Amino acid sequence: MITHRSSTRSGILYMLAASFLFALTMAFAKLLSSSMGSVEVTFWRNAIGLIVISITLYHSPIHNIGGRPYTLIFRGIIGTIALLTFFYTISATSLSNAIVYAKTEPIFTAILAFIFLNEPLKRTTIIAILIGFLGVIILSGTEWNTLYFMGILTGFLSALAYTSVRSLKAYYDERSVVLSFMIFGTLLPIAMMSIGEFYPVNIFGFEFIPFVFPSSSDWLWIIFMGVTAAFGQVYMTRAYFYAKAGIVSTVSYSVILFATLFGIVLGDMLPTSTIILGGALIIFSGILLTRQK
């Protein structure tokens, strides 16, 4: 018989494993960024994920109630753009900085849930949001360049995607939501790279550049990136099955530690005191917000 305590422990261990694998995914994406743009990295990340999801469909077909196709499409498109901005920040800054920006997602999720899902804003929630934005200001300082804009945009778009997922739970199998993300995450980069074949442009850090056929070593990183991301998703899902969302969400911040360690191995500089302070406030804000769920 599985006790509540052992179930919670299993959830924590699964989330730690997921965080470790997601940090590895970031590290492989960072290695690939030296030879290809963030658009192509996004393409490979989702193309491999699409194969993995398709295999699961073969063994266990999807059963949907349906009824919200436009929301499903919206989630796929927004999730893809969020991944594009995230991989851009990975290529432009350290892994620790990139993941801290992505972790602003709970701040925007609380605001969007209040606006679109009519979820109340408690006093603690408002305080947490203000603390989070203070962390963002400290992290960015007075230099609001493309990197900082894309970093914050990652958090905002991730929050949009997460909020839309919450509204889809009653209508679609979770694999349908993931499949929507994977399909658009493959098609949109293909469209961008196709445009880049004739009109190479750079819009807010999104480089519309032609497809670059991966080298032999790149294929290794591509496969590792896809596999670690897929298993990371599996373990994250199991974590939420075994333990409460507030506990799992709090443990998920361990990805920042793993990403920082992998970043140092890859040559990233140690975080400055300003980055540590700003990041700590964002993490504290996120933990407060997840505890409200």
User: Which range, 61-65, 85-89, 146-150, 199-203, has the best average confidence (pLDDT)?
Assistant: 85-89
Residue 142 pLDDT greater than 60, yes or no: no
Q: Taking Cα atoms as reference points, which of 249, 214, 247, 178 lies closest to residue 19?
A: 249
Whether 43 and 189 have beta carbons less than 8 Å apart is answered as yes
Whether the CB-CB separation of 106 and 286 falls below 8 Å is answered with: yes
pTM recorded for the entire structure:
0.83
pLDDT of res. 133: 87
Mean pLDDT of 69-77: 86
Which has the higher per-residue pLDDT, 288 or 162? Answer: 288
Instruction: Please give the average per-residue pLDDT across 18-31, as a whole number.
Output: 92
Tell me, what DSSP letter sits at residue 35? T
Q: Residue 194: how many CB atoms within 10 A of its CB?
A: 12
Instruction: Please give the Cα distance from 93 to 123 (Å, whole number).
Output: 34
The pLDDT value recorded for residue 166 is 67
CA distance 284 to 106: 11
Closest by CA position to 253, among listed 105, 144, 111:
105
Over 60: is that where the pLDDT of 204 sits?
no
Q: Is 205 left (phi over 0), alpha (psi -120 to 50) or beta?
A: left
Residues near 13 by beta carbon (within 8 Å), at least 6 away in sequence: none
Task: Give the gyration radius of the chain's Cα atoms.
Answer: 19
**What is the distance of C-alpha 22 from the center of its chain?**
9
**In this predicted structure, which of 19-23, 43-47, 63-67, 279-283 has the lowest mean pLDDT?**
63-67
186 vs 150: CA distance, rounded Å: 20
Q: Is the pLDDT of residue 143 over 70?
A: no
Structure tokens at 180: 């929507």
Question: Token digits for 139?
Answer: 């992290």
Count of beta carbons in the 10 Å neighbourhood of residue 122: 11
Task: Give the model's pLDDT for residue 293.
Answer: 57
| Beta bridge partners of residue 235, listed in sequence order | none
The Cα angle at residue 222 between residues 30 and 93, in degrees rounded to 5: 10
pLDDT of residue 2: 47
100 pLDDT higher than 90: no
pLDDT digits (tens, 9 = 90+) for 243-264: 776 677 778 888 888 998 999 9
- H helical segments located in 243-272: 245-251, 254-265
Note the pLDDT of residue 112. Answer: 82
Does residue 52 register a pLDDT over 70? yes
> What does the domain layout of the chain look like in residue ranges?
4-291
- Tokens representing 274? 């300003």
% of the chain surpassing 90 pLDDT: 13
Report percent pLDDT > 70 for the chain: 89
Is residue 283's pLDDT more than 80? yes
| Alpha carbon distance 239, 211 (integer Å) | 37
Q: How much is the average pLDDT of 123-127?
A: 87
Place of tokens 């970043």: 263
Q: What's the pLDDT band for 161 if we cut at 50, 70, 90? A: confident
- In terms of average pLDDT, the best of 47-61, 120-134, 200-214 is 120-134
Quote the mean pLDDT of the chain. Answer: 82
Residue corresponding to tokens 């990295």 = 41
Three-state SS for 205?
coil
In this structure, what token pair is assigned to residue 81?
């753009």
Rounded to an integer, what distance in angstroms lies between the CA atom of residue 135 and that of residue 228?
30
Mean pLDDT within 187-215 = 81
- Note the pLDDT of residue 103: 85
